[in-house]
Structure 1
């Protein structure tokens, strides 16, 4: 049994309207009459038409009563009760009684909440909000009352023993001499205590003087250390000039380092951009070459399959610069190099050019090579014979 369970049970029974006041001390010792009365009242509150035995005088009657209560609650309310704990009728029975009381209390609170109107619920909430400030004080007062009641119960339990001692003390005659001896011993004990306190006060004066001397010594030591600190602060170290000079140089070098680092980061970024552009251009060139090669292969297959002429093949390829296929040319045509494919790409880009224009284009390419050589290399040969 815990204090919380007992407190909750008493509060629930009070809220349910149990006519008898249940104290927390009622379950310290076995009390079967109270447990039986509470069980009968709870069962009647749950089902007024329940027919249960009421005789609990003999042991057999108590067993039958407990079994009937447990069977009724199991079949009607689906609540499983421990019959052994109920038969003990002490603090262990509170947990079993709490199962029934909590069921009835929950039903009552649910019914009250459902039956309240909006105005009533608003008023209740306002009252609860006003009273919530005193909730802590009420809980503290309830715990204090419980503690005082437990202490009072303990003292009342010792009343039988104390009553005999009190009667014995009152029945004896008072001895004046013994009383005087007790008072004299008390006076001597008080005098001894006074002398001890006075001695401690005298020692306190000596301790105070010794502490004053120690404090003065520490104060003088502190002043000496402060003077030494001021003298050391005024002395300039020998390496301070070199340190300041090196510090200035370090600041300059750091500014140079930051500038170079920024330039390097910018150049690396530009290099990444150039590499990315070259990569995209290379991929575009590769894709165009692959398309041209596939188109040439398709034209060759059609020429072989349909036995078309070279002129028709030139019309299909989109240019007139293909040589007429011969027996040897057909063998070479299937294994064209990348340069031939690249030239086909250039011819496709300008399909209206003639054979003379292509020949002149070749000379212009040689001139461009010469010009590029002159621009890129300073050690250009003076004549064409040097090539």
Structure 2
């Protein structure tokens, strides 16, 4: 058994969907339990309905198990397997197991290619149907566009005529309305001129008009007095606010003139904080640079190890 054979066997098992991870360490010493499990799994891949008992406690059970597997593979896959190597359950058994795995691998690839061809044919047929459908839709769209153009031209002509008709009707209605209003005005004027003028009504109307004017003047004077009072109150408030502002400005100037007792210590700590922050920034940048260099170095080492491993 070579390392390449074991690696190929492990990769094929992973491709076929075997759950357990198989490595070189598994076959350094005879491991009949693992070989039996893999063989049973192979049988299930060939025929899911075929059931093989995994009774391998005694030597006789193991011999029967190996013979049953070999007979099954010969009948189902026309594949001859060396039962002695399988029974050894070591690196030589991997060579026989690899034959079975390769056969399954090729069958899976062939079925996948057939499925891909069927899918491509289905997609091609769907694409053709889609193209025909789109062409039909395009023809219908062109026909509809032509009909829309004709209908639009007809509608445009009708709308242009409608505007002229509306203007004519509107002018006629305005003329009729103007004549009716003029007639009503003349009628009211005639009635007013025909009615006799009464002096009592004239005096009463004049008194009412004079009283209305006096009330309006009185209201205006009252509003003016209110405005004057409001103006005086606002002037008093403004003066009060000015005095308060001057007092606050003087107090602010006094406070600004007094230097707090802790100010020297505060400025000292502020300078120390600036110095420590500059050191922190420099060390942080150095650390980030070193981490970046370490990551690049680890990446290069991993690539070298992968190349040497292959």
User: TM (normalized to structure 1)?
Assistant: 0.34
- The structure, 1 or 2, with the larger RCO (C-alpha pairs under 8 Å, 6+ apart) is 2
Higher helix share: 2
Larger radius of gyration: 1
